[in-house]
Amino acid sequence: MPPEEIPDADWTQYDMLPVGIIVIRSDYSILFWNDCIADWTGMSASEMIGTNLLQRFPNMNKNVIKGRIDLVFDGGPAAIFSPQFHPHIILANHPNGNLRFQSTKVVPHSAIGELTAMIVIEDVTDIFNQTHKYRELKNVAEKELEERKRAEAEMSRLASIVESSDDAIISKNLDGIITSWNYGAELLFGYAVWEAIGKNVSFLSPADQAEEYLEILQQIKNGNHISHFQTKRVTADRRILDISLTVSPIFDTQGQIIGASSIARDITEAQRMDEALRLANKKLNMLSSITRHDIINQLMALRAYIHLIREEIHDPKPIGFIEKADQIANTIGDQVEFTRAYQDVGVKSPVWQQIPAVITEAILPLQQSGICVDLSGLKPLEIFADPLLQRVFYNLVENAQRHGEHVTFIRFWHEERIEGLVIICEDDGVGVPMEFKEKIFRREYFKHTGFGMYLAREILSLTGITILETGEPDKGARFEMLVPKGAWK
């Protein structure tokens, strides 16, 4: 039946609905196009009725859409298209220019005496957008909740660590008022939590250090970190403790410094042990010095008697024995002198030292030899070593001058390797024979050089530095000192 033969009353009711209504025949020719869908698409009913829907909207030719509508014409159930998977079956713009999201249903219809299909389109753009935003907010909320749970778990773990620590861990605000006090602080200082929180941290300082905490807090306000600062603190029973103190700034969520966290460790017993060790070393050094002085005096007397005997005896055989005795006396003298240098190895704590400056100072007494000492291959760097490090470089240069025979230059340079920093000393002298490369470090007597190289290795080994001779015989000596990672900068 042509559209004009259909009574108007059959369709007017659909023009009043706020949803799009389209009625099509099985050949997809349009029988009805209501006012709502006309308004959404900008296509009037007079323009659309009688035309083919698939030609006007080619996107509907997809089997996933047309195939399901064909099933409706074949007597199948209604086809329902979700806005999630098929949001734009009939392309229609929203006033903002974006396509409307549509919930579309296709149901069988027989108002004109034949089987037709009614397409009902509901605009769900606002609902879809709100749902999408809700899902985004939900995802964000779930993520924040998960992050908060992880943060709370981490805070709980850290709090457990702090509470169970043997060290005293204390936090305070920028006025020095204590805000937290762990069990380690209770044990160390003798004050319970309720006695400490709310007090100014200065109550732990001895009377002569009452203002020290102000200097520390000023450093924290400036964003500085204080590590292993040695000071003193007073306990509840008025004992004075030696303390190693580490203080760090506490930041809020905006990155502003709002307080300080300090870790205090009792080093009283360690200090006493260090003092006892220093005293013992001092006494041993004094005994060694006195003994060495006495031995040298006796050696001088022995050499004098050997000299007198040599003048009185002219028989070659006993003179040979006398010469041997004199050599032994000289060796004893050298060994005694070695103890003078060795007794200071390891007595003082290692320190950071600038290599170019140390070498320059070490070779000052040797600069009259005419040998060129080149330091241009050394960049400014520091290594952590025994204070006697200068003696190592003195021995290397002095050894080259005395035993290199024709040395004209000594060069120091360095290179970085996977295993650490290598400081190299090489010369153009006669070098070291293969059989003596290791012996010179073991006090083996090679041209009177054993003690100096042995001492050099001992000094370096105190901070894990190794030394090897790697030169080619007859092409010059080459000493490589390997400084491990962490011991140079």
The Cα–Cα gap between 473 and 65 comes to 90
Please indicate, yes or no, if residue 146 is contained in any of the structural domains. no
Q: Token pair of 333, please?
A: 């003298």
pLDDT(51) > 90:
yes
CATH value at residue 243? 3.30.450.20
Closest CA to 124 of 16, 20, 39, 280: 20
Same domain assignment for residues 290 and 252 = no
Please indicate, yes or no, if residue 358 is contained in any of the structural domains. yes
Please indicate, yes or no, if residue 235 is contained in any of the structural domains. yes
Same domain assignment for residues 359 and 300 = no
Please indicate, yes or no, if residue 141 is contained in any of the structural domains. no
Same domain assignment for residues 234 and 357 = no
Same domain assignment for residues 212 and 92 = no
Same domain assignment for residues 338 and 289 = yes
Same domain assignment for residues 177 and 215 = yes
Same domain assignment for residues 184 and 240 = yes
* Cβ atoms of 171 and 159 closer than 8 Å: no
| Secondary structure, 3-state, 263-324 | EEEECHHHHHHHHHHHHHHHHHHHHHHHHHHHHHHHHHHHHHHHHHHHHHCCCHHHHHHHHH
For the chain, how long is the longest CA-to-CA vector? Answer: 160
Residue 55's contacts (CB-CB under 8 Å, 6 or more residues apart) are none
Please indicate, yes or no, if residue 82 is contained in any of the structural domains. yes
Same domain assignment for residues 44 and 115 = yes
Range with the largest mean pLDDT of 72-76, 132-136, 451-455: 72-76
At 343 the pLDDT is: 58
Q: What is the pLDDT of residues 387-426, one digit of tens each?
A: 889 889 988 888 888 887 888 889 999 999 988 999 999 9
Closest CA to 347 of 241, 437, 262, 459: 459
Same domain assignment for residues 336 and 409 = no
Same domain assignment for residues 77 and 41 = yes
The residue length of the chain stands at: 489
| Confidence label for 337 from pLDDT (cuts 50, 70 and 90) | low
Range of the domain at 226: 165-266
Pick the more confident residue, 127 or 72: 72
Same domain assignment for residues 210 and 297 = no
Domain's final residue, options 246, 266, 286: 266
Domain's final residue, options 90, 123, 156: 123
CATH value at residue 355? 3.30.565.10
The domain tally of the chain equals: 4
Please indicate, yes or no, if residue 404 is contained in any of the structural domains. yes
Q: What is the pLDDT of residues 285-334, one digit of tens each?
A: 665 666 666 677 777 777 777 777 777 777 777 777 777 777 777 767 66
Q: Token pair of 91, please?
A: 């392309």
Please indicate, yes or no, if residue 138 is contained in any of the structural domains. no
Please indicate, yes or no, if residue 137 is contained in any of the structural domains. no
Same domain assignment for residues 79 and 178 = no
* Cβ atoms of 174 and 258 closer than 8 Å: yes
Domain's final residue, options 242, 266, 290: 266
